Structure 1
Amino acid sequence: MIDLHCHLLAGIDDGPATSAEAVALGEALVAAGVTRVVTTPHVGPNYPNDAERIHVAWLELVAALGRAHVPLEVLKGAELDLLYTQGLDAEELGRLALGPDGPLLVECPFSAVMPQFEQLVAGLHAMGHRVLLAHPERSPVFLREPELLRRLVAAGAMASLTGSSFAGRFGRTAQRYATWAVDEELAHDVSSDAHDTVKRPPVLAEALEQAGYGWTAAWLTREAPAAILAGTELPPRPTAPAAGGWARLRRARGGRAD
């Protein structure tokens, strides 16, 4: 699998504090089935990272994973606070994209209100950037107005959901929104947003399977993410199987069968 959103760099945000913890998280990613990951530290007021600092931390991580013989390909990226990044120049912003050809990963706000968010995303499109929205199912702004995601996708944005949302890690509301986004064909990726091996471990395809969405797991965790990174057209979406009564019951309960 390909993980487009993971806090893997040591000591620069709320991910691993040490190199040893970063290596342990890398090992957990491999154990979960991930072969390629984009490390996406926060870039915002709480963690004012820049492309150069991320590059240095990435070099240290790659060296540490190599010494530990962890078979994981690591690309650079960032998770951007849109208000904060308004002050960045075009060159710096481009260096914060996912890999050499990928989009900008934009954090969906955790504040209750951010009326300018839609306009700020449009501004990135106008500059020629593709946009991947991080965890809209966990954003109060999107939960209050689900149609915001539909409008942004119609305008060219893509959406990345968090795997553990399908398992209820962030509550039933986020779980229902995540399944709704898949049902409505508004999701383009499922990533881990992992921060550590205990509280926020990597969870990807297995959560989709448990929620009754195994039929789209390969597309959301391998095929579409590969195209997103390459900057190419997304492959055709898989077709949902005809759901029997038990599957519909699980879907209505947000993936729970109890």
Structure 2
Amino acid sequence: MTLIPTNYIDLHCHLLPGLDDGPQQLDESVEMAQQAVADGIRYILATPHHLDRHYQNAGPIVEHAVTELQAELRQRKIPLTVFAGQEVHLQDDLAASRQHLLGIDACCRYLLLELPHEFVPDYLDQVVFKLLQQGTIPVIAHPERNAQIIAQPSRLYDLVQRGCLAQLTAGSLVGRFGHRIKSTSLELIKCGLVQVIATDAHFMVGRGFMMRAGYQALARLDDMYPTYFAENARQLLNGESVALGETLRPNQRRKFWLF
């Protein structure tokens, strides 16, 4: 029988109240925290949106919100540890503001980077190059939900070859976003192009945690995946090196039209 890890680390979660499209009130954040613990999660990196069209959540704002939420969880004896992070939206001048960003780890060796949902901008390669020069490794958030990567999954292969890592949404792996995204998720995992799963949980119907179900899906693919993905999550949070396995170029799917 496959041993599935518990005490999960969730590196992508919209848990903090009032900062983005996650919970708006503290009680809602507490309810989410209780749901996370029930799903086997012990550590969460809170990653409110930053630098997208709607939200600007600078580091001190996020850190203050984490301190307040952690105090509330401690008072209510909810066994969840929360860390401060950001889901940073891609900008062409992103590398110039690196010192103001929160990484997955405290030293910003890894940065959770969100692409536009519709396409992969041409300037991404240059941003990746500059971040890597500065010692920061981009971790591409939910690539399986990007329209261009769905159509051309080899685009993620190229990014991984340049030094990026990638984070898959647990719900994608179990069909929460439909068959096409699930199929893409399975292909990216089998090709070694994603290294960690996370929940991207929000306080809304259909956007819960599903971490346990995600790890169960990993175990059905390969007995070694749950341990590998759990260890990668720990290493990313600690700023340690992640060992990549074999990476394969995915099959080209179909033509991609932006308009």
Task: Please classify the TM superposition score into its range, dividing by the shorter chain length.
Answer: 0.7 to 0.9
**Is 2:197 the counterpart of 1:190?**
yes
Q: Measure how far apart 1:139 and its partner are.
A: 0.6
Q: 1:30–1:124: structure 2 CA closer, same or farther, 3 Å change rule?
A: same
**Is 2:137 the counterpart of 1:130?**
yes
Q: Measure how far apart 1:87 and its partner are.
A: 8.1
Q: Measure how far apart 1:121 and its partner are.
A: 1.9
Q: 1:236–1:205: structure 2 CA closer, same or farther, 3 Å change rule?
A: farther
Q: 1:144–1:134: structure 2 CA closer, same or farther, 3 Å change rule?
A: same
Q: 1:149–1:183: structure 2 CA closer, same or farther, 3 Å change rule?
A: same
Greater RCO (CA < 8 Å, at least 6 residues apart): 2
Name the residue aligned to 2:255. none
Q: Measure how far apart 1:85 and its partner are.
A: 6.2
Q: Do the aligned partners of 2:16 and 2:65 also contact (CA within 8 Å) in 1?
A: yes
Q: 1:60–1:127: structure 2 CA closer, same or farther, 3 Å change rule?
A: same
Name the residue aligned to 1:49. 57
How far apart in 1 are the matches of 2:73 and 2:110? 25
Name the residue aligned to 1:100. 106
For 1:155-194, what aligned pairs fall within 5 Å after superposition? 155-194=162-201
Name the residue aligned to 2:251. none
Name the residue aligned to 1:22. 29
Give the total of aligned pairs.
Answer: 235
Q: 2:116 aligns with which of 83, 89, 109?
A: 109
**Per-residue displacement from partner, 1:74-94 (whole Å, max 9, x unpaired)?**
11110011117638633212x
Q: 1:52–1:154: structure 2 CA closer, same or farther, 3 Å change rule?
A: same
For 1:84-99, what aligned pairs fall within 5 Å after superposition? 86=94, 89-93=97-101, 96-99=102-105
| Structure 2 residue identity aligned to 1:100 | A
How far apart in 2 are the matches of 1:51 and 1:40? 11
Name the residue aligned to 2:210. 203
Name the residue aligned to 1:4. 11
Q: Measure how far apart 1:36 and its partner are.
A: 0.8
Q: Do the aligned partners of 2:92 and 2:124 also contact (CA within 8 Å) in 1?
A: no
Q: Do the aligned partners of 1:223 and 1:235 also contact (CA within 8 Å) in 2?
A: no
| Structure 2 residue identity aligned to 1:138 | R
| Structure 2 residue identity aligned to 1:140 | A
Q: How does the TM-score come out when normalised to structure 2?
A: 0.84
| Structure 1 residue identity aligned to 2:228 | W
How far apart in 2 are the matches of 1:183 and 1:87? 31
| Structure 2 residue identity aligned to 1:91 | Q
SS at match of 1:16: coil
Q: Measure how far apart 1:219 and its partner are.
A: 2.0
Q: How does the TM-score come out when normalised to structure 1?
A: 0.84
For 1:29-44, what aligned pairs fall within 5 Å after superposition? 29-44=36-51
SS at match of 2:157: helix
Q: Measure how far apart 1:226 and its partner are.
A: 0.7
Q: 2:73 aligns with which of 65, 84, 87?
A: 65
Q: Measure how far apart 1:197 and its partner are.
A: 6.1
| Structure 2 residue identity aligned to 1:156 | G
SS at match of 1:36: strand
Q: Which runs of 5+ in 2 are unaligned?
A: 1-7, 247-259
How far apart in 2 are the matches of 1:16 and 1:117? 30
Q: Do the aligned partners of 1:166 and 1:208 also contact (CA within 8 Å) in 2?
A: no
Q: Measure how far apart 1:108 and its partner are.
A: 2.5
Q: 2:128 aligns with which of 100, 121, 141?
A: 121
Q: Which sits farther off after the overlay, 79-88 or 132-141?
A: 79-88
Q: Measure how far apart 1:214 and its partner are.
A: 5.9
Q: Measure how far apart 1:232 and its partner are.
A: 1.9
